[in-house]
Structure 1
Amino acid sequence: MTTPLLEVTDLRTTFHTPRGDVAAVDGVSLSLAPGETLGIVGESGSGKSVLGRTLMGLITQGPTTTVTGSVKLAGQDVHAMTAKQRRTLWGPTVAMVFQDPMTSLNPVKKVGTHLTEALRLQLKLDRKAARERATELLRQVGIPEPARRLDQYPHELSGGMRQRVVIAMALACDPQLLIADEPTTALDVTVQKQILDLLAQLSQERQMAIILVSHDLGAVAGRTDRTQVMYAGRVVETSATAEVFGSPLHPYSDALLASIPQLDAAPHSRLRAIEGRPPNMASPPPGCRFAPRCARADDLCRTEMPQLRDPRPGGGAVPHTAACHLPLLDGRIPVGAPVTEEDH
């Protein structure tokens, strides 16, 4: 059995705010093998980005933050390390593609400086070798005239090109684990495919594990081995990607999939949406946090927090767990449909 590259156990990240404590990540556990790609999906505010930053060690214990649980990366406990020790991991062991390239790049530093700093610090390359490597990285992510771009500032590049620079920075030191937080947000469809193809190729060649955080369910469906669905800081469903997308067990997962526009839908058809709003995380509802928006919810759902389990009789060939008292064992239901006795 392959030793996991990443092991996360009961991770909780809580921010202390004037309105109360906010558990942005609430009891998340996962494991990831070398070369494996894990997709994490969910609405904005579900805790995906906070989870990624906590795994990196960018969010740690402090006066306004409490982090509990365990994050072991390549056998090392990330949150037991000092800040200096964690910095040695960033680049060769783990790297992150941040969601917003506008705030990920220093506006007073040239693109070449952004790329060569890590190469010289972590890989000990000299100035010439670092610049050659930086040029090749920009070429790999599809930036034209890469040598010239090294001498430009971020504001001289388009949003899509800045995003590609951020991806190149993350790949610079050949990380064992890449956390990609919406890596193709600012890119057009053609470039999106190029970038996702590149990540898949590098994952295969280098046995690089990838955590792909995305709102693009299509990208996750076609590019990941397993998928975790997050809602209000918790994992509500996890399995092989084909299982989650083909036979979702949690009503929230089903609702997300139902909200994808369909090519075969009649002209002028209404887009389907999930009714209601995500909960106030400073004062979440008791029981299942999706219950106020769920057509299947009953009194048990509103009072008792469900735990991740495989609800299928006898299980299945592939582990498939969902945190739901009333999982969709009877097939999919329309979003917002009334609950019937048969549904139970």
Structure 2
Amino acid sequence: MTTTPTSGAPASATGTDAPLLSATDVRTAFHTGRGLMQVVDGVSLTLSEGETLGIVGESGSGKSVLGRTLMGLITNSPGTTVSGTVLLGGKDVHATTPAGRRALWGTEVAMVFQDPMTSLNPVKKIGTHLSESVRLHLGLSRTEAQERAVDLLRQVGIPEPARRAGQYPHELSGGMRQRVVIAMALACGPRLLIADEPTTALDVTVQKQILDLLQSLAEELRMATILISHDLGTIAGRTDRVAVMYAGRLVEYADTATVFERPRHPYSSALIASIPRLDLPPHTLLPTIEGSPPDLLNPPPGCRFAPRCGAATDRCVTDAPGLAPYPGDRDAGVVVACHHPLGAAEEAAV
């Protein structure tokens, strides 16, 4: 394993010396009429070629904003403050010019957005959506770009791709539109794909098809993937590592199997407990997390999860925990932001 970053976030699980993506102390704040809203607050993580990272947390935890910040879609502006370092393939995403960032989009990094209908121009044909980017970035002729568009539709499993390329977004189902958005993201062969809630508003069967498609394409193309979701069940078995976010901060960062088998942060444990299970009797009520996430305009001084945590102490209310390696040797490589990580006291007594 590579060296653990000084922030406490573990390095990539693949053991490469030069990760494809390296984010250090990333912060994104929005200037609002009520004050400064710190939506991403000191996130550090790494990702290697071919690795898949899941970012999970409740709605409003900062997942989508983090994804857009890593991609360079959110930058410093009169209404936004971004700090920290994001290196993609050794290039500083936020230190480059707007033209330099546009050159990265599509070829180095691409994103699959939540709602495929709003990602597609309703007055442009499907083939046009796909051919525009390959003509711009790859320099293909119009005919070559059209052929590439049909090949991409075939690659993502759309039947009759040549006919579909001549249709408009409203003529396709929601699942097919999402496949088109995935094809758009893959058009120029990016090294990193960020999928932000890619199964939103799709039925369960189509959700599985889309997730299976993303997984198979990532394996086939050796593409690094960040899968953003509010549901831990969505990323089970589909990621190498999991970063759990709460109120703009990482609270746990570990390999996927460890998070599911032995979650160390109370928030991670509560999220896993809320997943429906087939072995439970019918009509069993699932546990819920009482209370609401904090107001990011005025977050609590200590642990941001403390008001909703049954194990919180006076220290948790006043002293914000930083990411630190889990104590003990059993879960080496796990980092958790908690003064009283689950299982630590019991293992220390053994």
User: Counterparts of 1:88 and 1:260 in 2: how far apart (Å)?
Assistant: 40
1:284 Cα deviation after fit: 0.8
Cross-structure match for 2:11:
none
Distance 2:318 2:331 in 1: 32
For the residue of structure 1 that corresponds to 2:24, the secondary structure is: strand
The aligned counterpart of 2:198 is 183
Partner in structure 2 of residue 65 of structure 1? 80
Equivalent residue number for residue 50 of structure 2: 35
Q: Is the 8 A contact 2:322 2:337 kept in 1?
A: yes
1:86 equivalent in structure 2 = 101
Aligned mates of 1:249, 1:216 — CA distance in 2: 18
- 1:132 positional shift: 1.5
Over aligned residue pairs, what C-alpha RMSD do you find?
1.6
1:168 and 1:75 mapped to 2: Cα distance? 26
Alpha-carbon distance between aligned partners in 2 of 1:301 and 1:330, rounded to the nearest angstrom: 16
Q: 1:336 matched to which residue of 2? A: none
Indicate conservation of the 8 Å contact 2:109/2:191, yes or no. Answer: yes
Give, in whole Å, the separation in 1 of the partners of 2:82 and 2:264: 30
- Equivalent positions of 1:285-324 (< 5 A) are 285-313=300-328, 315-316=329-330, 318-324=332-338
Deviation at 1:330, TM superposition (A): 5.5
Alpha-carbon distance, 1:301 to partner: 0.4
Q: Structure 2 counterpart of 1:25, which letter? A: V
Q: Aligned partners of 1:45, 1:189: CA distance in 2, in Å? A: 23
| 2:57–2:231 contact (8 Å) kept in structure 1 | no
Change (3 A) 1:31 1:241: same
Deviation at 1:195, TM superposition (A): 2.9
> Of 117, 124, 128, which aligns to 1:109?
124
Determine the structure 1 residue equivalent to 2:217: 202
**Is residue 22 of structure 2 the alignment partner of residue 7 of structure 1?**
yes
Deviations 1:177-233 (A, max 9, x none): 000111222434443333333322332333210001113322311110000000000
Query: Does the 8 A contact of 1:226 with 1:241 survive in 2?
Result: yes
Letter in 2 for 1:216: D
Q: Which residue of 2 is the match for residue 135 of structure 1?
A: 150
- TM-score, normalising length: structure 1: 0.92
TM-score relative to the length of structure 2: 0.91
Q: Indicate which of 265, 285, 292 corresponds to 1:277.
A: 292
5+ residue gaps, structure 2, are: 1-15
For residues 11-61 of structure 1, the C-alpha deviation after alignment (integer angstroms, 9 at most, x for no partner) is 000001011111110000001111110000000000000001011111000
**Preserved CA contact (<8 Å) 1:240 1:318:** no
1:133 deviation in Å? 1.5
Per the TM alignment, residue 317 of structure 1 is displaced from its structure 2 partner at its CA by 5.8
Residue 38 (structure 2) aligned to one of 1, 15, 23: 23
Runs of 4+ in 1 over 4 A off after TM superposition: none
> Deviation digits for residues 115-155 of structure 1, max 9, x if unmatched?
10001111111112211211121122222222112122212
Q: CA deviation at 1:262?
A: 1.6
- C-alpha separation in 2, matches of 1:181 and 1:200: 14
Deviates more, 1:3-12 or 1:323-332: 323-332
Residues of 1 paired with 2:216 and 2:315: CA distance? Answer: 46
